[in-house]
Amino acid sequence: MDRLDELHVFIAILDAGSMASAARKLGRSPAAVTRMLSTLETRAGARLFERSTRRLTPTETGLRLAEQARRLLADYDAALQPPGAGTPRGLLRLTAPTAFGRRHVAPVVTRFLALHPDIQVDLTLSDRNVDLIEEGIDAALRIGALANLSLVARRLGEVRRVTVASPGYLDRRGTPLVPADLAGHELIMSTAVRSVAEWRFRADGREHVVRYSPRLRMNDVEAMLGAARDGFGIARALSYQVEPDLRAGMLRRLLVDYEPEPAPVHLVMPSSRHMAPRLRAFVDFAVREFAALDVIR
């Protein structure tokens, strides 16, 4: 039995979430897929999945094997390329936050694909912190401090959390000059960011927390900014989210001298060792492309 094929089937099961789905994807019988997984678990000397009636969940041993298997299969694919061809090929699985991905990552991906006709990309936009190894993701764009320090990261830039309001609102209610002035204003809160009614500012090199009672709470940033554009009140968002409205004059940036420290933007990957040519090509391209974006400087 081809042991590389065992790994290929194992990764298909992991990505599909069930042996039946993996069998359909691979064009094989469920019994054949089940036998190959059983053989691989015997060879590994441990269970690779915890079985339930609805889904297979990888064990720690399964996750470790998945990381090594993806590298091995990527190396195998690269080795089959003709000598000197230098043409990256194959499928890249990427993920990014929804709003940032829609505005900035998707255009980078399409420009990348225009240069690499033998590469396919599966881009998932989600604000969920995706487990790269468990879900078979090659690279993810992350905004903010990295929680998993085992990931390999390439810094792309940074974004700021900015306070904004419409010119009409400021003409009617006045412009806050210091964070304490917000107490006399209508405030709009995004519950998509945090559930605690507070904003953080920096003054004199120290962080200050301002707690408040918002008039309006929303779980969608675009809806929140729409209310701010309509003149309802003052809102807060990341710089890339409000950049089009600031440029168009529909919103104004407030309390610039009190903004908190910027949040880093990274492209993260499970490992840089044995990186597939297609992933290396995308990382190098993305670093160059994002360096030209003012919204993350």
Per residue in 142-196, pLDDT tens?
998 877 666 788 889 889 999 999 999 999 999 999 998 998 899 999 886 555 6
Give the residue-averaged pLDDT of 62-88. 70
**Per-residue pLDDT at 138 exceeds 60:** yes
Q: Are 146 and 268 in contact (CB under 8 A)?
A: yes
Query: Which DSSP string corresponds to 174-231?
Result: ----SGGGGGGS-BEEETTT-SS-EEEEEETTEEEEEE---SEEES-HHHHHHHHHTT
User: Parallel, antiparallel, or unpaired for β 252-254 and 152-159?
Assistant: unpaired
Name residue 12's amino acid. A
> What per-residue confidence (pLDDT) applies to 205?
78
- Report the C-alpha gap between 184 and 176 in whole angstroms: 9
- pLDDT confidence of residue 87: 75
Spell out a b/e string for 87-99, using b for 16 or more CB atoms within 10 Å of the CB, else e.
ebbbebbbbbbbb
Predicted TM-score (pTM) of this structure = 0.64
210 with 179: CB under 8 angstroms? yes
Range from 87-91, 195-199, 243-247, 262-266 carrying the lowest mean pLDDT? 195-199
88, pLDDT greater than 90: no
Written as six digits, the tokens of 245 are: 């409205």
Query: Does residue 127 or residue 105 have the better pLDDT?
Result: 105
pLDDT tier for residue 84 given thresholds of 50, 70 and 90: very low
- pLDDT tops 90 at residue 235: yes
What does the pLDDT read at residue 148?
Answer: 67
Q: What per-residue confidence (pLDDT) applies to 248? A: 96
- Give per-residue pLDDT as tens, 28-68: 998 999 999 999 999 889 999 988 766 788 888 888 888 77
pLDDT at 11: 86
